[in-house]
Structure 1
């Protein structure tokens, strides 16, 4: 079934997709506001707000919210990302009105009770501590901080113990009122849902939600790059090597996604085969590409033992060189098949489908169909991907490493081994 889209008088977008053979509905409210919308003195408030959403409204206690959704066998949750915040539920079709009512109550009438706030601040402090004790979490936090130094985009979503403890109920209300407006919100349902009935339900509960919010564009992100190292007495080392990537809207975004799959998207990928299977230099390695509204980042993550670190990075650099010189048609076709299969498989999950539709509406202002995505992927050529590789890997690298990293090559040596070393990259990295 096609995605149906309506817009309420307050600017809120409502979209549905009926999935045949499904008896449940995944639905939620997605807001175009996340961690990068925080001011300098608000680091971590978006994530705290997400936690506090289920801690009580004027008419429901925290227990009431949990009990009412679980009384019908449903579930409710929320999530914070760099650029969005979502509040979502999954229920059987007959219980959609209850789920909409709960989500609307949370968004419009949360009390942010000071006692509940104090407890939840303590929970988040534990979460921050757990993340600090998890090396692969730490290395990615330091990686983004180094790539986008002194910018909201590079900060940890969790905040710091100092900032999290400082927030008050008034600050939570103020942030929500400033950031949450109908024009920046989409309500999406996927599964056993009828569009007109769902729109009426949303309009009844959220039709009076304020239309306007602070539309100030977050600080434009500026990729910086650089070197971060933290020695720890661990069994293995976590290493991330990255480069400036591509934003969602630019021509090379999908090419970058496919390139990451060719390099490290599965067991047949170049990095997995060369680094892990043939040389045994690590137990885990993969490539990734994250797109944001105005920039992106492309990277390779590896987890390895102390004795293999010195050999690891030169081999990764060698594979980056090879990719910028030649990519086989078979590799491109395999990556396209992986991408297509991923799209089809995720479409079979109501929750995944609702999330996909919401992201597309927030990013592009419209749902993007599978056929359109496949047209973009089918237009990719090996020549375009090799050209993209040479440009991507010529940007100033970001290197982050945590663990027993005494034998990790110097940053300048890593730069010298990369494809852009003879095109001014060394000078740019200095």
Structure 2
């Protein structure tokens, strides 16, 4: 990226929370926490001091599909970033003292999370939408599964899932490609060249999960089956989500908040995975407003599947292109995008190809994809003062969707 003085680089491993076995729940996230806690060459303090001595920073993140370890430095300091990231992956110490401390940190994180209902409801909806499947489990894990992990289970998980065919080194900014290849060299040679096993399929089920709790607001998510990122229709699903609840001009924001004042926050989102996808609407409202809020949201959704306008599609496509092109101007986001493309498609999609796919979306595409999502049972997750919330049967009748099987 000409004109930049910094480089963002990282190593992405296609080993996320959905690759865990039931007894390993939270292990991918624990590995992320342990990433910078020491190797045989460096202790935790040395890792921090070395990268910060050159003004750099390192971090890591875990999601459903992958775990990423990344760094940002000045261009000339890229070799140090490569050395640290490959060191923590290829030769982690998993010191027992550090491990015990990080387990306690994560237990505190879980406790804090449980006190945040607008986050808990998202775990509830995923656990319900993909009942019994690893993709529906909480990334943080449970106190029981986190406490059960040890260096043996951590190394076992890495041996099973951190395989070279599903690992990507990606960099953007003031980077010399040949120099990066030279620096990485054989540093990751200790990882297996064999392909890792595919994770368990993400089978969407739908369902109803409710938790009555003394809160000021009810937090609700209405979710639906949606395309995977390998399905070309995922672009049209993004457009529909944007039209329905993607900003201040969206239908939900205008109808539910601006015209009726039934909530402060409401939006829709679309999360595509490698073999499935999830589209949902989140909102928070008061107990006394629930009887008006729910039918209005459901009716707005149903109406949108049949009445999308050219102006709405054009606006949503413009916003998608703006987001895409803005990301390409950020070294960190560009490196991440390239890594995600490699993990998903085996190649980096050219900018013009992505823009062309967005431009090609029609009103019919948007309505068709949206209507398809409503052909599967819905998922309802709600927490707070929700006694007035209409029954799942009433919601299904209003939506015209199949009834979910209750576990």
Mark yes or no: TM-score above 0.5. Answer: yes
Task: Report SS of the residue matched to 2:185.
Answer: helix
Task: Report SS of the residue matched to 1:187.
Answer: strand
Task: Report SS of the residue matched to 2:187.
Answer: helix
Q: Is 1:232 equivalent to 2:213 in the alignment?
A: yes
Residue 262 (structure 1) aligns with: 243
Q: Is 1:392 equivalent to 2:373 in the alignment?
A: yes
Which digits, 9 at most, give the CA deviation of each residue in 1:259-284, with x for residues without a partner?
10010111001111111101111100
- What is the aligned-residue RMSD (CA, Å)? 1.4
- Structure-1 separation of matches of 2:157 and 2:376: 36
Q: How does 1:86-165 map to 2 (within 5 A)?
A: 86-165=68-147
Q: Is 1:319 equivalent to 2:271 in the alignment?
A: no
Task: Report SS of the residue matched to 2:271.
Answer: strand
Structure 1 residue 373 displacement after superposition: 0.9
Q: Is 1:290 equivalent to 2:276 in the alignment?
A: no
Which digits, 9 at most, give the CA deviation of each residue in 1:122-173, with x for residues without a partner?
0000000011000011000000000011110000000000010011111111
Q: How does 1:182-221 map to 2 (within 5 A)?
A: 182-206=164-188, 208-213=189-194, 215-221=196-202
Residue 286 (structure 2) aligns with: 305
Ranges in structure 1 where 5+ consecutive residues have no aligned partner: 1-18
Which digits, 9 at most, give the CA deviation of each residue in 1:7-34, with x for residues without a partner?
xxxxxxxxxxxx1221100000000111
Which digits, 9 at most, give the CA deviation of each residue in 1:193-236, with x for residues without a partner?
11111111111533x23232562111111101110111111111
Q: How does 1:66-105 map to 2 (within 5 A)?
A: 66-105=48-87
Q: Is 1:56 equivalent to 2:44 in the alignment?
A: no
Structure 1 residue 383 displacement after superposition: 1.4
Greater shift in the superposed pair: 319-328 or 221-230: 319-328
- Structure-2 separation of matches of 1:294 and 1:390: 19
Residue 7 (structure 1) aligns with: none
Task: Report SS of the residue matched to 2:30.
Answer: helix
Q: How does 1:309-388 map to 2 (within 5 A)?
A: 309-388=290-369
Task: Report SS of the residue matched to 2:211.
Answer: strand
Ranges in structure 2 where 5+ consecutive residues have no aligned partner: none
User: Which of 155, 160, 173 matches 1:178?
Assistant: 160
- Structure-1 separation of matches of 2:328 and 2:205: 36
- Structure-2 separation of matches of 1:92 and 1:101: 15
> 1:74, 1:91 within 8 Å by CA — same for their partners in 2?
yes
- Structure-2 separation of matches of 1:41 and 1:67: 35
Residue 414 (structure 1) aligns with: 395
Structure 1 residue 428 displacement after superposition: 7.2
- Structure-2 separation of matches of 1:315 and 1:130: 32
> 1:270, 1:319 within 8 Å by CA — same for their partners in 2?
yes
TM-score (norm 1): 0.92
> 1:69, 1:99 within 8 Å by CA — same for their partners in 2?
yes
Task: Report SS of the residue matched to 2:381.
Answer: strand
> 1:179, 1:213 within 8 Å by CA — same for their partners in 2?
no
Which digits, 9 at most, give the CA deviation of each residue in 1:93-143, with x for residues without a partner?
011000000001101110101111101000000000011000011000000
Structure 1 residue 388 displacement after superposition: 1.8
Task: Report SS of the residue matched to 1:230.
Answer: strand
- Structure-2 separation of matches of 1:102 and 1:307: 55
- Structure-1 separation of matches of 2:365 and 2:330: 33
> 2:8, 2:332 within 8 Å by CA — same for their partners in 1?
yes
- Structure-1 separation of matches of 2:403 and 2:377: 8
